[in-house]
Structure 1
Amino acid sequence: MNWLIDFFGDPANWSGPEGIPVRLLEHLEFAGLSLLLAMLIAIPLGLWIGHTGRGALLVVLSANAARALPTLGLLVLIVLFMGVGTIVPVLIPLVALAVPPILVNTYEGIRGVDPDLRDAAYGMGLRGGQVLGRVLVPVALPLILLGLRLAAIQVVATATVAAYVGLGGLGRYIIDGLATKNYPSTIGGAVLVALLALLVQFAFVLAQRVTVSPGVSGRQDIR
């Protein structure tokens, strides 16, 4: 506890280019851009595969790749080839980490919709794209949001690896603290990452309550 007080109570840690606000913004930049790019790749692909049934093998391969991906090793390898000067070397492994949970959950959400509901939608005269957008996506939204939540938490936690190759983010406190035996900095950085992950978790739970229909989520209004 004293180490946390030393870290968070030090005014020097709240100002300047190495202060907590700057490091937090850097961390959010890494995580936010990675998640956005992963969404742009995985959600359309998951919707298409789930709706058409084609390319399901890609989903299986993606799920297996997520378990075996050496994020730090991939980051170091990319830096060796590209060098450090932009955040691109960090984005590539983080995007690779975020795509599988989004892709798998989007696919499973669409494929898990009751076939009778699909047939009813087609029977009402809706076309393929209309069925997907008006029927399948709203029903699959809880699973899609779950995939986004899992990916976001993983990316927030893993973005600390940026510090290994000299970039910023909250990982600087952890890596630099270990290197200099500044344990208040190490523990303080770890606490900040954990708090940010919890905040992301809460934000997605709130987003699900706002965006998902009560009929889909099983919630009922209390009157």
Structure 2
Amino acid sequence: MATALITGGTSGIGLGFARRYAADGHDLVLVARDQARLDRTATDLHDRYRVGVDTISADLATPDGCAIVEKHLASTAVDVLVNNAGHSLPQPYPYNPLADEERMLDLLVRAPLRLTHAAIPGMTARGEGAILNIASVAGLVPAGTYGAAKDWLIHFSESLRLDLAPRGVRVLAVCPGFTHTDAPKASTVPAWIWLSVDRVVDQAMKDLRRGKPRSVTGWHFKLYAAAAQHAPRRLAARMARSRTPKE
């Protein structure tokens, strides 16, 4: 039976992917910091979908936490890696503490870099696998350190996709906009703009099957992404400062 390892798999988009892969018959490995929440989520998914669910308690913003998950990826056959763990910060740079900025970059950049590096040898040896990196449409515009980290993840994914396609491994950058998760919500954003987690996951799974490099959900965010890609950089910067979608 195939296995999917999902970071940040106890809530939000990560939990959405966990439910989808469990419904499709995949065993799961869920990674998060809170062991009690991991245990509750694992029990719920096992009882609902009758699949195996293992858990790893690890803080992926630290080298030691990454090493725990890397060891599992190197020693166990994992068919799908979903790099989802992450968060944003309440203030734009440079108004957050520098330590918070560094921790966010460690989680959004270094952790996917290290976990992907650990997963690739097994996937390429088997000639199949999938890596989904949860980025954001914020990565398509100049949007501070959060947007810069997501931009890195998008370009990392697209480069990796070209390198690994001949070896049977698919790579997708998932770029959600405003999505209903457990994270604090922007109260000024109209209700019609928000996406559901299931809608983001549905679109990502379709785009993965189609071999697309990026997955953007919703006509409004597709327009946003197209405008960000083709607009002059000065205009794109204004778009980012007026309203930057985050997952």
Same fold (TM over 0.5): no
Structure ranking higher in strand proportion:
2
Larger RCO: Structure 1 or Structure 2 (Cα < 8 Å, ≥ 6 residues apart)?
Answer: 1
Report the TM-score when normalising by structure 1.
Answer: 0.28
Looking at secondary structure, tell me which structure has more helix per residue. Answer: 1
